Structure formats: C-alpha cells, structure tokens
Amino acid sequence: MAYTIILATLASISWSILFAAIKGISVVAADFESMLSTSPDFMIPDLIFSLIIAYLAGRAVGKRVPAQELKFGFVVALIALAIYIPLFVLADAIQTYPPWYNILSLLVVILAIPYGAKSTSKS
C-alpha cells in the first residue's frame, strides 16, 4: 500500500511536469509551485489521476480478500488516511491548496479504495 502512495506521488509530479511542458510553462520558474497549487489546470488532472490510482489500489485489495472486499477496502482506506493526513498537515496543504481540492483529495482516498475493492466482488 505504501507503494501506491509513492506511485501516486511520483505519477502526480510527473503528470504536472509533463502538463506544464505541453502548456509551455517553465518548470524551473519560481512561480511553478504556486501554479501547481492554484491552477485548476493542474489540480483537476491530479485529482483524476489520484482517483484512478486509488481505485486500482482498491481492486488490488479486493482481489486478495474474496467475500470481504468492502471491509478490507475501508481498512486500507483508513490506513492510507493515517499516512495521508500527517503528510497533508506537514505540507501545510490547508493553506496551500483551495478548500475544494483538499476536500476532494480526502474523498478520493475515502471512497475510491473501497469502491475499487467492492468492484471485484462476484455478487
């Protein structure tokens, strides 16, 4: 599960740099970091990518615990939140990012992992 968080972080950073390059924005510029935290052009794709990775993480959990997919999906979501929230606080995300992004980021973790786990259920 820690690999999922690391993968999501690296993918998110890579996506942002690629997107900036496509839009012609210099990633060396001093305002690149503020652009990442204020521009919906970066935040919305990041949320979508995070949603996909969390869903796939849930599917990986669901495949390993037949008949208990939802239960363990929520367990993994809680563990992910236990890792995510301290990082969220340490990064001062509440001040850095807009409220809608913070709320959706947390909801992605809470909902996408259990949903992905449940999607593997045979019933």
CA distance linking residue 114 with residue 72, whole number of Å? 8
User: Cβ(58)–Cβ(95) under 8 Å?
Assistant: no
Per-residue pLDDT at 1 exceeds 60: no
Question: How do residues 71-92 score in pLDDT, each as one tens digit?
Answer: 999 999 999 999 888 988 888 8
Q: Which of 4-8, 97-101, 102-106 has the lowest mean pLDDT?
A: 4-8
Q: Mean pLDDT across the stretch 50-69?
A: 91
CA distance linking residue 64 with residue 116, whole number of Å? 12
| Three-class SS state of 123 | coil
Instruction: Check residue 11 and give its pLDDT.
Output: 73
Per-residue pLDDT at 103 exceeds 90: yes
Question: How do residues 27-43 score in pLDDT, each as one tens digit?
Answer: 565 566 676 777 787 78
User: Cβ(76)–Cβ(105) under 8 Å?
Assistant: no
